[in-house]
Structure 1
Amino acid sequence: MPDPAVGVHLFVANRALEERAYAAVLAAGVDDVTVAQARLLSRVADEGSRLVELADRARVTKQTAGHLVDQLERNGYVERVPDPTDGRARLVRLTARARALVPVAGAEVARVLEEWREHLGDEAMDQLVTSLARLSAITDPFAH
């Protein structure tokens, strides 16, 4: 019988991973990024993202995303630049200051995943990763 709490299990694991990455950024001396801002930052595409895309990916309103981007821009983590594919649109792009945080958060994510691997074992962890990747193919609205 399927576990009716599978969504909760996925949420809890994701939240734990996210919290550890955020804590690592704070430990690195960043004191001007909130959790909500960090969630938005983590969703900015390498080439930049339109505000409406960020709002969708972060599951917040466009107004909330705009407010968060305003704060991040003031603190030097993002910049708004013209969209090369549409002269009327603007992209939100990470600055060097924000890009410097990526390896900090990434290293902590790697540590967490290694902890999970040690807890689950190699085979179960590999199956989890494979299964989640396959599931993303039908659940991720941003997968291309």
Structure 2
Amino acid sequence: MDVATLMLIAYRAMDERVIAAMREAGYDVTVAQARLAQRIAEGGSRLVDLAEQAQVTKQTASMLVAALEQKGLVERVPDPTDGRARLIRFTDEGQAAADHARELVMGVEQEWNEHLGPRLASSLREALTSLRELVDPYR
């Protein structure tokens, strides 16, 4: 099996576990909504930036943001640097959901680290970080 497929399997396993746990905690989010939400910057993000980073169309990003708005997880606010633009940012409930998701991710990573052991876990993180420098324009 090629390396990209192996990475995809691990990525999807993480997604499935986190989404299931989020739903159990009362946050009814889809994988697509979660993938977009995880890209929201601390001070908020413009829709066009979220779409680009999530590699979806602006229209798709807009629909995902609208669904997250309806759930009370995000809000659109004026961009203080550009009066014509709006920022998408977490509401208090949305920030709580994002914090919960981050804790869940850290828990799964801890399980993986224990399974791999310190040397392999460290090597994996180092290798993936190095690969990201090659392929990720948003780092």
Q: Does the TM-score normalized on the shorter chain lie above 0.5?
A: yes
Asked if 1:25 is matched to 2:22, the reply is: yes
Residue 15 (structure 1) aligned with residue 17 (structure 2): no
Q: What is the CA distance between 1:103 and its match in structure 2?
A: 2.8
Once the two structures are TM-superposed, the CA of residue 7 in structure 1 deviates from its matched residue by: 0.9
Are the counterparts in 1 of residues 113 and 121 from structure 2 also a CA contact under 8 Å? Answer: yes
**What is the SS of the residue equivalent to 2:72?**
coil
CA shift digits 1:92-132 (9 cap, x unpaired): 11111111112321222122112211221110000111111
Question: Can you list the C-alpha shifts for 1:38-96, whole angstroms capped at 9, x where unaligned?
Answer: 22111111111111111112221110111111121122111111112222111111111
Q: Distance in 1 between matches of 2:6 and 2:50?
A: 25
Structure 1 unpaired stretches of 5+:
none
Q: Is the 8 A contact 1:24 1:104 kept in 2?
A: no
Aligned length, in residue pairs? 139
Q: Percent identity?
A: 51
Instruction: Say whether residues 1:59 and 2:77 are aligned partners.
Output: no
Two-structure CA RMSD over aligned residues (Å):
1.4
Q: Which runs of 5+ in 2 are unaligned?
A: none
Give the structure 1 partner of residue 96 of structure 2.
Answer: 100
Correspondence list, 1:1-144, <5 A? 5-31=2-28, 33-143=29-139
TM-score, normalising length: structure 2: 0.92
Moved more, 134-143 or 46-55: 134-143
Which stretches of structure 1, 4 residues or longer, exceed 6 Å deviation after superposition? none
Cα contact 2:15–2:31 (8 A) shared by 1: no
User: In 2, Cα distance between the equivalents of 1:50 and 1:75?
Assistant: 19
TM-score of the superposed pair, with normalisation by structure 1 = 0.89
Select the structure with the greater relative contact order (CA < 8 A; seq sep ≥ 6): 1
Question: In 2, Cα distance between the equivalents of 1:51 and 1:106?
Answer: 22
Question: What is the alpha-carbon distance in structure 2 between the residues aligned to residue 50 and residue 38 of structure 1?
Answer: 16
Q: Provide the secondary structure at the position in 2 that maps to 1:100.
A: helix
